[in-house]
């Protein structure tokens, strides 16, 4: 009743023409924008579905987690990197995380990745022998890195601290489709050491530069030397795998 009274009072103060002009040119667009924004934010940040992520139990002191990116899967390259890492680090538990079902949407990928990272961290913390974790993430997998690091650093094993090293391969900076510089301002911040390998030819937001808390390695010029013909966004993946295979890179960030 109060709303109807206000509406009538407002209508009486304006001629019909002015009222409808104001309604369609100002009030309706503003209200529509607010409603659409709230719905979009709810869709992005509201955890409608529980995450089901498989993380093998391990008693290793050293764990390496590899995370693929948006609309990707572990089979495309993460398995290859896992095998290369395992060969160079036979005592380590190397996990190629498959979170494909939660990484299929550009708006929700970053939020899902960060939350999944926190879940992975909790599962890793069940290992009483854990001393060192290395996280390697490409594209939106960078947010899995962030979630794991934040999760590990927010918890404490009994009398034991966990060293976390992070490696970012052309990381996506946009969080929740809204916060465009989030990754650039946060990636590497919680880690004990962090490196970012990037290609300046990449046009994915935030992927063509290093976050301010991570040491940047610009590998753009090395594409031609390697005769790489793929997309700039995938170049850091193949560069990193080849460097691990050739033992020119340590998995640990110094």
Q: Could you read off the pLDDT of 11-48 as tens digits, one per residue? A: 566 566 555 666 566 665 665 555 555 554 555 556 66
Q: Answer yes or no: do 152 and 221 share one domain.
A: yes
- Could you tell me if 25 and 130 lie in one domain? no
Same domain, 117 and 239: yes
**What pLDDT shows up at residue 161?**
83
The answer to whether the beta carbons of residues 245 and 214 sit under 8 Å apart is no
Tokens 């929700």 correspond to 108
- For residues 151 and 204, membership in a common domain is answered with yes
Do the domain assignments include residue 148? yes
Our count of domains for the chain comes to: 2
C-alpha triplet 104, 105, 109: angle, nearest 5° = 90
Same domain, 78 and 198: yes
Q: Would you give the DSSP letter of residue 134?
A: E
Which helix or strand (DSSP H or E) is residue 35 part of? helix 28-45
Q: Which residues of the chain have pLDDT under 50?
A: 40, 253-254
Q: Does any domain span residue 45?
A: no
108 located within any domain: yes
Contact status, residue 139 vs residue 73, Cβ threshold 8 Å: no
* Residues 193 and 236 grouped into a single domain: yes
For residues 21 and 106, state if they share a domain: no
- The reply to whether 17 and 142 lie within a common domain is no
Residue 49, pLDDT score: 67
Q: What is the mean pLDDT of the chain?
A: 85
Q: Are 109 and 143 in contact (CB under 8 A)?
A: yes
Same domain (yes/no): 100, 175: yes
Residues 76 and 178 in one domain: yes
User: Does a structural domain hold residue 135?
Assistant: yes
Domain coverage including residue 115: 62-245
User: Residue 232 maps to which CATH number?
Assistant: 3.40.50.1820
Of 139, 75, 73, 147, nearest in space to 106 by CA: 139
């Amino acid at each position: 009743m109060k709303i109807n009274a206000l509406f009538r009072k407002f209508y009486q103060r304006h001629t019909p023409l002015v009222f409808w002009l104001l309604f369609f040119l100002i009030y309706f667009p503003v209200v529509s924008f607010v409603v659409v924004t709230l719905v979009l934010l709810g869709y992005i940040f509201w955890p409608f579905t529980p995450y089901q992520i498989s993380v093998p139990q391990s008693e290793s002191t050293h764990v390496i987690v590899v995370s693929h990116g948006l609309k990707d899967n572990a089979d495309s390259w993460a398995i290859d990197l896992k095998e290369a890492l395992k060969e160079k680090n036979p005592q380590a538990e190397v996990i190629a995380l498959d979170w494909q079902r939660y990484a299929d949407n550009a708006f929700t990928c970053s939020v899902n990745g960060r939350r999944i990272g926190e879940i992975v961290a909790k599962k890793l913390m069940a290992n009483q022998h854990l001393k060192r974790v290395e996280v390697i993430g490409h594209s939106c997998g960078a947010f899995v890195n962030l979630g794991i690091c934040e999760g590990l650093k927010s918890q404490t094993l009994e009398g034991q601290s966990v060293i976390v090293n992070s490696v970012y391969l052309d990381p996506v900076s946009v969080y929740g489709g809204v916060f465009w510089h989030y990754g650039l301002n946060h990636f590497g911040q919680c880690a004990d050491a962090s490196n970012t390998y990037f290609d300046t030819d990449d046009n994915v937001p935030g992927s063509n530069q290093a976050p301010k808390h991570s040491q940047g390695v610009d590998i753009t010029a090395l594409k031609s030397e390697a005769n790489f013909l793929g997309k700039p966004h995938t170049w850091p993946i193949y560069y990193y795998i080849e460097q691990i295979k050739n033992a020119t890179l340590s998995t640990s960030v110094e």
